[in-house]
Amino acid sequence: MSDPLAGAIALVTGASRGIGRATALRLAGAGAHVVAVGRTQGALEELDDAARAAGGTATLVPLDMRDYPGIYRLAASLNERYQRLDVLVGNAAVVGQRSPLNHVEPQNWDEVMAVNVTANWHLIRAMDPLLKRSTAGRAVFVTSGAATSARAYAGPYSVSKAALNALARTYADETTSTPVRVNLFNPGPTRTRMRALVMPGEDPMTLPTSEQVAEKIVDLCLPSFSETGKLYDYRAGKLLEFRPPA
């Protein structure tokens, strides 16, 4: 089937750049109407142009993920217009301060937790009723190997991604008896601006592109993907159990 998400409504956060932008375009190419959330108006408009050029459609939502009331206003708008949400991709994230834990500024710590963790909880809280009205609601949260590697000088980011993993695990367990399927996606090192900022000496040409990674994210968004409570590791090329069986 050429458009496996024909007629679907797909919300992508952090859609202005990188993996989020590539995922939004892939979803649009699969037939979904994409609700693209990002902070940068100009970048969202460029995304819209690219989606239209490829025959897709998008609604642009300039929104800082720390604007939690804005998330609920968005949910109300989606409810009024579509009465459902078929796909949720929680991708927006910030790296935060790279320094020893005792040197991290409280304001920076709070920002990382606000965007990487708390915003995704608000997304779940706001969008869960809409996902449950879909015949095949799919939620994918973009995580990182930093959640388990816990390397020096990356404390805020590592802690936030570990918390995101627990958040997604909990949501997956709470929705097993519903049409909603919840999974995590670890892209690994990817050729993005964020990666270049963190690893400035790395050769980006040795890394997969955002477009390559996004193709696999979209696979987890399809109605035919029935797994839940799993982590897809892009580098490993497979689904992993991200918690031991009870």
Catalytic residue numbers, as ranges: 157
Per DSSP, the residues of 221-241 read HSTT----SEEEETTTTEEEE
Give burial (CB, 10 Å; 0-12/13-18/19+) of 153.
middle
Torsion of CA 25, 26, 27, 29, to 10 degrees: 90
The dihedrals phi and psi of 62, each to the nearest 5 degrees, come to: -70, 115
How many Å apart are CA 41 and CA 200, to the nearest integer? 27
Asked if residue 13 lies in contact with residue 123, where contact means CB atoms within 8 angstroms, the answer is yes
